Chains A and B, each alone.
Chain A
Amino acid sequence: MGTLLDVENLWVRFPSRNGVFDAVRGVSFSLGRERLGIVGESGSGKSMTGRAILRLIRPPGIVEADQISLDGVDLMKLSEKNMRAVRGQKISMVMQDPKFSLNPVMTIGDQIIEAYRLHNSTTKAQAYKKSLEMLEAVSIRDTERVMRAYPHEMSGGMGQRIMIAMMLIPNPEILIADEPTSALDVSVQRQVLDIMDTLVKERGMGLIFISHDLNLVSDFCDRVLIMYAGRIVEVCDADKLHKAQHPYTRGLLNSLPRLDVPRDRLAVLQRDPEWSVAPSVSARL
């Protein structure tokens, strides 16, 4: 399993009036052609990690890392212009809510064609054809009508499938999925995940799946990083999650209700201040 992405000692800092706030603190991990889950509570720095890889943290936020290496190229050293060639073409990202992540005044067709043509110099007709194929690949029927439609005419599940189509059309190597199903109805969550999973596997891509849902991640991913207060506290294989050692992971697992082992009272997670000062666990392969 070759390494696609290697992140070493990643920090995301936000200077504020009361000193510097560190959202991500010295995180190291690598990604092969696998599905890597990042789990944590709100504010644990998991989304920031995803965005920092794409260098999408806007000033005054600061990203620091010893390296973020993609195919041997350190993204930290790239100019903004070269970084734009990486975005979309090499690394893409699907965000939480298609209601907000699609431009409301552009047709879906224009938005998908735009994503393709930014990295492929083709005619509009070819891009249109390619977009129709991509929409079919995410199980959308009536593709020509959808191409002409606007985002507000789509349901949430459809919107997210469109988003996936749009992000995969330039054929990137890595997809970052930042809570891709949290805003969707439970009934369509599984469908969207399956479509994403199939496409990622078919294309031999690496997937970073960011979620707060432990069950989902353990089902869906190969490896899981558990983040707490900007650090990785534990790394484990997804199928061995129930054997996790760290008290935080154990606490999270214990606080989930289970159908097969009913309990009167769920455990409350007791946080140890020690956790947030302990050094980050490396998840590099």
Chain B
Amino acid sequence: MALAEDNNKRRPSRAPFSERAWPAVATTLKTLGSIAVTLVGLLFITFIIGRVMPIDPVLAIVGERASQSTYDAVYEQLGLDKPLIVQFLYYLWDVIHLDFGTSLLNARPVSEDIARVFPATLELATLGIIIGVTLGVPLGVLAAVRKGSWIDQVARVVALVGYSMPIFWLGLMGLLIFYGILGWVGGPGRVGIFYVDVVPSVTGLILIDAALDGNWDVFKNAFSHIILPASLLGYFSLAYISRMTRSFMLEQLSAEYITTARVKGMSEWNVVWRHAFNNIRVQLITVIALSYATLLEGSVLTEIIFSWPGIGSYITTALLSADMNAVLGGTVVVGLVFILLNIFSDLLYKVFDPRAK
């Protein structure tokens, strides 16, 4: 009896910390668990694809004129004599230790290669998405607010061109005009030939490394090289982001709580940005995260046109020379980026939408 009374007394007060903290811990564990399962699944699929492809990894190493004994030795060395599932477990074990094997092409560890090429893509994609978001979101909002006006029409044409123009054409034209004729920007590559390896590589992102080193000449040069490809990628994400922003905003602007805000006597600017915009943040995050992930995969064409040593051109080159370790390693990194971005946007949902809690 006494116990029951005690319980009743305690009920109105807040639960003790251990009880309140438990759901948070459980959610975190659940999230980590789902990351692990997704990653293993991804590894399994890429691994299997790598093994069933009609490419003989042994031949790629030893060459066609090697003797049978050499062939067999390498075959065993690669562990190809073991059952597929055992091979996969070995591979999993290596990947957990960040060992993606050795590139067949240059005999260097794939992880080192990725550590070199991924920052290049990261830098390009990040600047691209920043350009795309800072221009695309306001453009989309404006197009929705002034629906049917000339701004809306211009935004529509801008997006249509962004959707439909092939990037190799736009890239070449950009290079021709801004580099070849006007000379406003640096040409292909990350920095000019005189600036290569001038600043110590700390993060692998040249702009940041140069800023850390205080070497503003390198910074300026690197910036003049990155701005054109980043603007191009930014333009493509702008096309998508602005169209999506517009339709999200149109939906919210016709909602009844917008009328409420107007009835209160609120200015149109605040109605749009304080009320309507705050309601599209969740949807917008999904769109931006998706665009960013696409850019982080490495835009192969852009990287090739601008001789950008990123992960897109790395994987493509590796694929063309049957360098399966490099292909698998690159794919895993791209997959990991996708998973992390997804989780990050899930976290942001909970910040921006009280209903998601």
Contacts and interface: CB of A to CB of B under 8 A. Distances in A.
Interface in A153-200: 163, 166-167, 170
A180 to B, nearest CB: 13
A243 B264 CA distance: 39
A211 interface: no
B257 interface: yes
Contacts of A95: 256, 259-260
Contact of A103 (B267, B275, B281, B352): B275
Interface stretch (A113-121, A131-139, A216-224, A275-283): A113-121
B261 A103 contact: yes
A131 to B, nearest CB: 13
Interface string A96-137: 110011111111000000110011000000000000000000
Contacts, number: 75
Prevailing SS type, chain B contact patch = helix
Interface in A5-48: none
B354 A150 contact: yes
B255 A118 contact: no
Interface string B79-119: 00000000000000000000000000000000000000000
Contacts of B259: 51, 56, 93, 95, 101
A92 B261 contact: no
A102 B260 contact: yes
B354 A119 contact: no
Contacts of B262: 54, 56, 87
Interface string B313-357: 000000000000000000000000000000000000000111100
Contacts of A93: 259, 263
B265 interface: yes
B34 interface: no
Interface residues of B, number: 20
Given A56-B259, A103-B279, A105-B279, A114 B264 contact: yes
Contact of A87 (B264, B281, B354, B355): B264
Contact of B353 (A54, A96, A105, A115): A105
B95 to A, nearest CB: 41
Contact of B260 (A101, A105, A119): A101
A88 B264 contact: yes
Interface in B277-293: 278-279, 281
A114 to B, nearest CB: 7
Contacts of B45: none
A152 B354 contact: yes
Contacts of A103: 257, 260-261, 275, 278-279
B279 to A, nearest CB: 6
Contact of A84 (B267, B281, B352, B353): B267
Contacts of B266: 84, 114, 118
A115 B257 contact: no
Nearest to B355: A152
Contacts of A152: 354-355
Interface of A: 51, 54, 56, 84-89, 92-93, 95-97, 100-107, 114-115, 118-119, 150, 152, 163, 166-167, 170
19 contacts: A54-B262, A56-B259, A84-B265, A87-B263, A88-B263, A92-B263, A92-B264, A93-B263, A96-B256, A97-B256, A101-B260, A103-B261, A103-B275, A105-B352, A106-B275, A114-B264, A150-B354, A150-B355, A166-B260
Interface of B: 255-257, 259-267, 275, 278-279, 281, 352-355
